[in-house]
Structure 1
Amino acid sequence: MILDRFAVTDQVAIVTGAGLGIGRSIAIALAEAGADVVVAARTKADLDEVVARIEETGRRALAVPTDVMETEQLEHLVAETLRVFGRLDILVNNAGGTAPRPAMTTSERYLHHALHFNAIAPFVLTKLAAQAMVDTAGGGSVVNISSRVADMVLTSFVAHGVGKAALTHLTKNVAAELAPAVRVNAIGVGAIATRSLSTVMEDEQMHADLVERTPMGRAGDPEDVACAALYLASPASAWVTGTVVNVDGGSTIPAVQIPVPPLEPRGT
């Protein structure tokens, strides 16, 4: 049966940023497809709710509060996964994101943080996870949650765009090095109706602009991304690596533009 290719029965997955939104939906989807799931985020209360939801599917879950900016905590995350479950098959690097800020008010420190959060942390965790996958399961799959901002011009998103562009490029390069044992792919996420998009969704004009600019006529749902993540994590994509699957409702232009004040001469 072709649907069997989408099952991840008895596999073990790590999902970062799993407490809310896209990460939560991906973690639950993997459990519904048969995986035991380790959920990581900074807020334990959010993780506890996701663990309960996963256990309702009949699969096992483990919450490991983690700050992905700290390498020692990433090492602990992988070690705990192996201690409890004895193997690792799937990694979803979902933690990331950077608040919009005009280029002229974006500091070097802010840009460095965006690059670390969106690309360096996933890179570090991918290396740790890939070795664990090969050691315990003979291989596996890494899914990086990137963004369409990586290849679109969107005002006030220079830091976020740089971080996600780096993640996309990292995906393709690491995939070439880790094949054939470990597949590495990414999802280019468009405008998804999560808490981070609440300002747009609650503003009548901005929401209308988003709908008008999106061929599918709506914002995405976290489960839209979860479906793509399941495909890339599962044997259904066994001959797919180093690619980016865009989940963006067909957008070819940014769904929303943030007004930026013009650059004026400084006073003397």
Structure 2
Amino acid sequence: MSVLDTFRLDDRVTIVTGASSGLGVAFATALAEAGSDVVLAARRVDKLDDTAALVRATGRRALPVATDVADPDQCVALVESAMSEFGRVDVLVNNAGISSAYPASRETPDQFRSIIDVNLHGSYWTAQACGKVMQPGSSIVNISSILGLTTAGLPQAAYSASKAGLVGLTRDLAQQWGTRKGIRVNAIAPGFFATEMTDQYRDGYLDGLALRMVLGRVGDAGELAATLVWLVSDAAGYVTGQTIAVDGGVTIT
């Protein structure tokens, strides 16, 4: 097998949460292009049909499943649907996430909890359900954020806390499941990519961060998806418990 062959995901089955828009669409499409069938999870099931069409255009199979990851029962049902349709789950991409920008002095308990419930709890419930059926050689990638590693000038306590929590969750699951189950668990910490979330930033916000972007630009979703394909493939078979920052150099400035 050549080095390039180790990046292939032929005939594997991947669950991607938050697959209805933004980076989730890029992830699902790239994984399909690498050879994986894809189970697509999100609350907006109508949008999932669009992502499914992109997956099927690559020649791979797609299964849309309406899922609210904040509900543990729905996470279990998601995995059961994947097992019923494909008989296996090889890869989980915990991408579902929501954001907020409330000043800490005014953020309500419900506002804070809603972010943690989706971004952190949802990733744990989905990983827990997948961990029960995954076989040795499987891989989980949690989509964290550079805001779990640094700050960026917005009042995002809940979001930052949820993404920092994913870094700790990644390390612990990697330790628990590496030897006992043979499952690798890693995280990606994206910097700034053009998504629905960045569309919500105030005018000039990203321009103000330009000095921290060593490469001088926001990222392209394809660059992040390429990192994901590497991380879940056999090419990264000796990598676990790591958080990979894909941020154009923001976290080194």
TM-score range, shorter chain: over 0.9
1:192 matched to 2:193: yes
User: Partner of 1:226 in structure 2?
Assistant: 225
Q: Equivalents in 2 of 1:153, 1:86: separation in Å? A: 42
* 1:166-194, Cα deviation, whole Å (9 max, x unpaired): 11100001100000310000001111111
CA contact (8 A) 2:69 2:125 kept: no
Moved over 3 A (4+): none
**What is the CA-CA distance between 1:225 and the residue it aligns to?**
1.5
**What is the CA-CA distance between 1:240 and the residue it aligns to?**
0.4
**What is the CA-CA distance between 1:253 and the residue it aligns to?**
7.2
Correspondence 1:37-186 to 2 at 5 A: 37-134=38-135, 138-154=136-152, 155-180=154-179, 181-186=182-187
Q: Equivalents in 2 of 1:118, 1:175: separation in Å? A: 18
Q: Equivalents in 1 of 2:137, 2:66: separation in Å? A: 25
Q: 1:60 to 1:173 in 2, by over 3 A?
A: same
**Counterpart secondary structure, 1:196:** helix
Please list every run of 5 or more consecutive structure 1 residues that lacks an aligned counterpart in the other structure.
255-268
CA contact (8 A) 1:115 1:166 kept: no
CA contact (8 A) 2:100 2:115 kept: no
What letter corresponds to residue 167 of structure 1 in structure 2? L
* 1:82-141, Cα deviation, whole Å (9 max, x unpaired): 00001110000000132111111112222222222111111111111012112xxx3400
Identity of aligned residues (%): 39
Q: Equivalents in 1 of 2:149, 2:53: separation in Å? A: 37
Q: 1:62 to 1:241 in 2, by over 3 A?
A: same
Structural RMSD (CA): 1.5
| TM-score, with length taken from structure 1 | 0.89
Q: Equivalents in 2 of 1:74, 1:206: separation in Å? A: 35
**Counterpart secondary structure, 1:91:** strand
* 1:146-179, Cα deviation, whole Å (9 max, x unpaired): 0010121343011101111111100001100000
CA contact (8 A) 1:210 1:218 kept: no
| TM-score, with length taken from structure 2 | 0.94
Q: Equivalents in 2 of 1:144, 1:199: separation in Å? A: 23
Q: 1:207 to 1:148 in 2, by over 3 A?
A: closer
Please list every run of 5 or more consecutive structure 2 residues that lacks an aligned counterpart in the other structure.
none
**Counterpart secondary structure, 1:252:** helix
Q: Equivalents in 2 of 1:37, 1:120: separation in Å? A: 22
1:217 matched to 2:209: no
Structure with max Cα Rg:
1
Q: Equivalents in 2 of 1:95, 1:244: separation in Å? A: 17
**Counterpart secondary structure, 2:140:** strand
**What is the CA-CA distance between 1:198 and the residue it aligns to?**
1.3
What letter corresponds to residue 33 of structure 1 in structure 2? A
